[in-house]
């Protein structure tokens, strides 16, 4: 098997700024033609198999294993990334333009409109760090008139879809075999297919399994450098360099290199009084060069957290550079939230939360103080922040384990994700994971979204936490094996991933036995033969 082709510094930089890359899978045309043919048969005779599309059309695995795709995913998510059980093929049938507007083709499972994807089966907080990514694959030529996916570049850190960004649409088009690597949260949508054939786009979701400790791409340059032709309407060096450093396994909040001499007071005045997006962004960026000396601008920066997207994002990471002086006012603002904003579908955390994450380890004690706040939304934000800070938040593990006894499944789910990202403490965490797999909570049984329950998602998060924690003890392996047949198939899917990554014959046999039972014979087709 060929070695993965890792991304270059330039490609990683572009992914950080723009939120996507278009790749050539590099496979023979015959592979894509075969996938297209089988998709037509599946869709015409059986309908869309949803998450079962990979066993229905196993040739997709050749795409996912291709050196270019594999190398790109390793570069963005780490060498131990995992394929999520959720995947879907969107078919876009030939449509037309009418006097009433664009008419999408009958039978299409796509739509023309903007959205950010939800997590599956139920909601998770949105990450700024690259913890999730998607590959959008076209088995047929998908040029602009064939209805490719549309993207709005540099919107992957957005909490909403501003009208001002919509004119910056880019069609992610390409020849058969093109793969679009996208940050999970990028704003995207379908477009009208004016060709005379079906357009298929297969979406595969991938997740990071561990925090970076070193660059996982072909890294040659230690310092951040923005691509000259990036597609963001605003310069965001504090944002971009922070994410670059995190991906290199570094937690640093060093001030940006200054381009001119400024005072915090004058920059604060510009930020407060100017109505120009360009001037506000420039003022925030200049404050990021001052480090802790920008403290007099704290009130203006805190107000900017409610501003236009690019001002808000730059303010988050400038507060991270200011550091400890920003912790108390950020915590005070978080405490003031009185409503529960959690919703199933998608959840952007509060802007203050991302700023506390950017500050890092010095914010941990203050965040731990929010874990018993009366508002569970505040608790969720604190739990998420501790998980994003990662290993430096290990002192919070006992408190996170206590959070697993909350009556609120969103609190429990977020605490599980945080524990998986922080790591350590098997003796404390593993019994809690076993309890979640085995105890049934009657208050978590109602269908919430697409016939999923809160208990389903709690157990999915528990298995993902076990996978990320990587415990190799006999007790951990037994815990995973016992949960394989959970009513939620995602639990078994992640359980198999966990078992296959253990250096254990018992784990391997259990995984193979499970997969033998769940094998899908793709040569059998409804209406053709079924046995």
Q: What pLDDT, on the 0 to 100 scale, is given for residue 261?
A: 74
380, part of any domain: yes
Where a domain ends, among 207, 227, 261? 207
367, part of any domain: yes
528, part of any domain: no
Range(s) of the domain holding residue 481: 363-517
Same domain, 120 and 251: no
- Kindly report the CATH number assigned to the domain that includes residue 283: 1.25.10
Q: What is the DSSP pairing of strand 82-92 with strand 199-207?
A: antiparallel
Same domain, 437 and 499: yes
Q: Residue 162's closest CA among 352, 342, 313, 385?
A: 313
Give the predicted TM-score (pTM) of the model. 0.96
Q: What does the pLDDT average to over 209-231?
A: 96
What separation in angstroms does the CA of 133 have from each of 25, 57, 371?
16, 22, 29
Same domain, 175 and 317: no
Cross-sheet strand order for the sheet of 82-92: 20-24, 178-183, 132-137, 199-207, 82-92
234, part of any domain: no
For the chain, the average pLDDT equals: 95
- Kindly report the CATH number assigned to the domain that includes residue 414: 1.25.10.10
- Residue 525, φ and ψ in degrees, nearest 5: -130, 135
Q: What pLDDT, on the 0 to 100 scale, is given for residue 1?
A: 65
346, part of any domain: no
Same domain, 170 and 48: yes
- List pLDDT tens digits, range 359-396: 999 999 999 999 999 999 999 999 999 999 999 999 99
pLDDT grade for 346, boundaries at 50, 70 and 90: confident
Same domain, 107 and 163: yes
Distance of alpha carbon 493 from alpha carbon 491, whole angstroms: 5
pLDDT grade for 207, boundaries at 50, 70 and 90: very high
- List pLDDT tens digits, range 468-502: 999 999 999 999 999 999 999 999 999 999 999 99
369-398 CB burial, b ≥16 within 10 A, e <16? ebbebebbbbbbbbbbbbbbbbeebbebbe
Same domain, 385 and 279: no
Peptide bond into 498 cis (omega under 30): no
Choice among 18-22, 25-29, 180-184, 250-254 with the minimum mean pLDDT: 250-254
Q: What pLDDT, on the 0 to 100 scale, is given for residue 402?
A: 98
Same domain, 122 and 271: no
Number of domains in the chain: 3
pLDDT grade for 104, boundaries at 50, 70 and 90: very high
Q: What does the pLDDT average to over 199-216?
A: 98
- Residue 404, φ and ψ in degrees, nearest 5: -70, -10
Same domain, 134 and 184: yes
């Amino acid at each position: 098997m060929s070695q993965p082709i890792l991304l270059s510094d330039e490609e990683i930089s572009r992914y950080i700024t723009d939120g996507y890359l278009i790749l050539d899978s590099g496979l023979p045309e015959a592979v894509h033609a075969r996938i297209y043919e089988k998709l037509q048969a599946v869709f015409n005779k059986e309908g869309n198999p949803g998450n079962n599309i990979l066993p229905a059309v196993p040739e997709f695995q050749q795409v996912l294993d291709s050196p270019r795709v594999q190398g790109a995913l390793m570069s963005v998510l780490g060498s131990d990334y995992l394929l999520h059980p959720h995947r879907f093929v969107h078919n876009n049938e030939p449509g037309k333009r009418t006097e009433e507007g664009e008419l999408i083709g009958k039978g299409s499972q796509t739509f023309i409109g903007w959205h950010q994807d939800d997590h599956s089966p139920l909601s998770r907080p949105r990450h700024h760090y690259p913890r999730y990514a998607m590959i959008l694959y076209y088995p047929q030529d998908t040029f602009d008139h064939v209805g490719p996916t549309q993207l709005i570049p540099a919107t992957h850190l957005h909490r909403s879809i501003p009208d001002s960004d919509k004119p910056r649409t880019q069609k992610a088009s390409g020849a058969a075999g093109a793969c679009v690597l996208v940050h999970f949260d990028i704003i995207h949508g379908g477009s009208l297919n004016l060709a005379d054939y079906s357009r298929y786009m297969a979406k595969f979701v991938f997740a990071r399994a561990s925090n970076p400790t070193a660059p996982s791409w072909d890294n040659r340059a230690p310092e951040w450098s923005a691509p000259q032709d990036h597609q963001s309407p605003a310069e965001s060096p504090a944002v971009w360099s922070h994410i670059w450093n995190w991906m290199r396994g570094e937690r640093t909040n060093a001030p940006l290199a200054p381009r001119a001499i400024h005072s915090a007071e004058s920059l604060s005045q510009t930020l407060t009084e100017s109505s120009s997006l360009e001037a506000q962004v420039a003022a925030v960026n200049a404050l990021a060069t001052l480090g802790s000396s920008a403290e007099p601008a704290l009130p203006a920066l805190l107000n900017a957290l409610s501003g236009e997207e690019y001002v808000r994002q730059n303010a988050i990471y400038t507060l991270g550079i200011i550091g400890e002086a920003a912790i108390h006012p950020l915590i005070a603002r978080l405490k003031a939230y009185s409503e529960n904003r959690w919703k199933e579908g998608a959840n952007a955390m509060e802007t203050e939360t991302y700023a506390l994450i950017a500050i890092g380890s010095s914010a941990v004690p203050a965040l731990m103080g929010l874990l018993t706040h009366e508002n569970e939304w505040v608790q969720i934000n604190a739990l998420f922040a501790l998980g994003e800070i990662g290993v430096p938040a290990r002192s919070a593990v006992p408190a996170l384990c206590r959070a697993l006894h909350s009556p609120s499944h969103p609190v429990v789910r977020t605490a599980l994700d945080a524990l998986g990202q922080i790591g350590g403490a098997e003796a404390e965490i593993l019994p809690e994971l076993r309890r979640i797999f085995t105890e049934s909570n009657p208050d978590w049984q109602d269908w919430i979204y697409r016939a999923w329950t809160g208990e389903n998602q709690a157990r999915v998060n528990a298995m993902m936490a076990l996978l990320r924690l990587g415990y190799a003890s006999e007790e951990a392996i037994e815990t995973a094996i016992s949960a394989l047949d959970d009513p939620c198939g995602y639990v078994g899917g992640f359980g198999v991933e966990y078992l296959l990554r253990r250096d254990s014959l018992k784990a391997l046999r259990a995984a193979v036995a499970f997969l033998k039972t769940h094998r899908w014979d793709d040569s059998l087709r409804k209406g053709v033969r079924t046995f």
